[in-house]
């Protein structure tokens, strides 16, 4: 473990020329490095599951930094951390932040970068003597990744009042602990969790900085970009039912091969999204073949289609097209096809006016505005169901995420902090 030093790795590639107006790359690198030591794996990855001691330890470290920066700090019943800087006026607050939990053996930027970027804005204001007109809150949401209970967004749902408490109490983690028992381990309760929803009238907007987890910004050679919306996923489960038979004794013209039909369906699904929108995607990522024998014609295939778009109308039209394609392929190959919907979450588009304000902030900092959708879910998606949101993506090397190799250059992170700071200041009028 002693050979891993995230802070040094970040600073080795940083010349400091992005440090101005109180923003410090070395401070950001140091803090990313300190958080990386909590839950460090043998692969030099991050292991801080939601509602774990490691997540709590990372929160406590950031809370210490928040207090040193002059913020009023509290933790709610869901474990969400809120560091508040009062504004000159008693107005609804601007919130910014992300999460510090991780997937098992994940990276060191997904989540912590968003939290520390928001805190770095506060540090810069402190150094330059700036006080915003509106209150500004740095937020750490609990359990964004959902590694403990295969869910996610536990903290943001609690704060927004959208958590299904009854369903959560039915959950059991991989160690056999119930949701209530897991909360108790870190000093929380189900009653406290349920009571952590806020008065949303006191919040104007939530702004989240996050790594892109894709390659678009890298290909454009840009440090950061403007998120146009967060895609809402829909998961469909299809079963193709043919007829199993001997691979040697069944003629090719007398088969009901479920896998051949499913294969044609998969190819067709791959081509469908572009017919509906530039941001739509569809993926067949899981498949089960029965009886799955080398010398047996497949009699049944079950597969799962993940469909996403940032626009609800085109996403839903694509869903219908995928279902219709399954029916037509089944009919062509004389196999039965059934489908069912396992999940459908509404997309969260980001308002055009917000995007325009972000564009101006980019131009103020000499960065070409570039817009891109978010295919992954984020706390901003949960918040965006009830409140205005904005989101900035930071360039990800090779698009790698949820992996110890996850990487964003410090200069790109610092430039994003400058854009975030400029944007939040533009909201003060």
Residues annotated as binding site for Zn(2+)? 99, 110, 145, 210, 402
Q: Please, what is the end-to-end C-alpha distance for the chain in angstroms? A: 48
Give the E-state strand segments of 77-157 in sequence order. Answer: 81-85, 93-99, 136-141
Which tokens hold the place of 316? Answer: 């839903």
Separation CA 87–CA 91 (nearest Å): 8
Residue found under tokens 């984020």: 378
**Helix, coil or strand: residue 145:** coil
Residue found under tokens 């949960």: 382
Q: Residue positions in the annotated binding site? A: 99, 110, 145, 210, 402
Report how many helices (DSSP H) and strands (DSSP E) the chain contains, helices first. Answer: 14, 15
Residue found under tokens 């473990």: 1
Q: In 3-state terms, the chain is what percent helix, strand and coil (to 5)? A: 40, 25, 40
Separation CA 121–CA 24 (nearest Å): 10
Q: Which residues pair with 237 in a beta bridge?
A: 304, 340
């Amino acid at each position: 473990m002693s050979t891993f030093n995230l802070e040094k790795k970040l600073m080795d590639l940083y010349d400091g020329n992005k440090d101005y107006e109180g923003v410090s790359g070395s401070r950001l690198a140091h803090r990313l490095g300190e958080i990386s030591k909590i839950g460090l794996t043998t692969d030099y990855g991050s292991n801080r599951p939601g509602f774990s001691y490691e997540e709590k330890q990372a929160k406590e470290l950031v809370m210490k930094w928040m207090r040193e920066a002059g913020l009023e700090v509290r933790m709610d019943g869901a474990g969400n951390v809120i560091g508040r800087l009062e504004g000159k006026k008693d107005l609804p607050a601007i919130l910014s932040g992300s999460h510090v939990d991780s997937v098992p053996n994940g990276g060191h930027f997904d989540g912590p970068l968003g939290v520390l970027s928001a805190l770095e804005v506060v540090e810069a204001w402190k150094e330059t003597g700036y006080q915003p007109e509106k209150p500004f809150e740095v937020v750490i949401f609990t359990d964004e990744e959902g590694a403990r209970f295969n869910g996610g967004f536990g903290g943001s749902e609690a704060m927004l009042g959208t958590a299904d408490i009854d369903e959560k109490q039915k959950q059991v983690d991989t160690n056999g602990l119930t949701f209530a028992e897991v909360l108790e381990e870190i000093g929380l309760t189900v009653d406290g969790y349920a009571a952590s929803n806020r008065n949303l009238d006191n919040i104007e907007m939530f702004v989240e900085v996050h790594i892109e987890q894709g390659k678009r910004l890298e290909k454009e050679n840009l440090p950061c970009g403007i998120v146009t919306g967060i895609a809402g996923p829909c998961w469909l489960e299809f079963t193709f039912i043919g007829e199993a038979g001997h691979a040697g004794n069944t003629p090719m013209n007398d088969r009901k091969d479920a896998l051949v039909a499913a294969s044609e369906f998969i190819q067709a699904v791959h081509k469908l999204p572009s017919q509906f929108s530039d941001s739509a995607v569809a993926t067949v990522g899981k498949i089960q073949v029965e009886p799955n024998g080398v010398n047996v014609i497949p009699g049944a295939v079950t597969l799962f289609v993940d469909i996403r778009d940032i626009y609800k109308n085109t996403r839903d039209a694509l869903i219908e097209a995928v279902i219709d394609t399954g029916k037509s392929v089944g009919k062509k190959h004389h196999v039965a096809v059934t489908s069912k919907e396992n999940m459908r979450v509404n997309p969260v588009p980001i308002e055009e006016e917000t995007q325009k304000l972000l564009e101006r902030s980019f131009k103020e900092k000499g960065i070409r505005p570039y817009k891109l959708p978010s295919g992954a879910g984020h706390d901003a998606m949960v918040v965006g169901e009830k409140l205005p949101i904005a989101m900035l993506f930071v360039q990800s090397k090779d698009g790698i995420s949820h992996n110890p190799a996850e990487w964003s250059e410090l200069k790109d992170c610092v430039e994003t902090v400058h854009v975030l700071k400029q944007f939040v200041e533009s909201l003060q009028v």
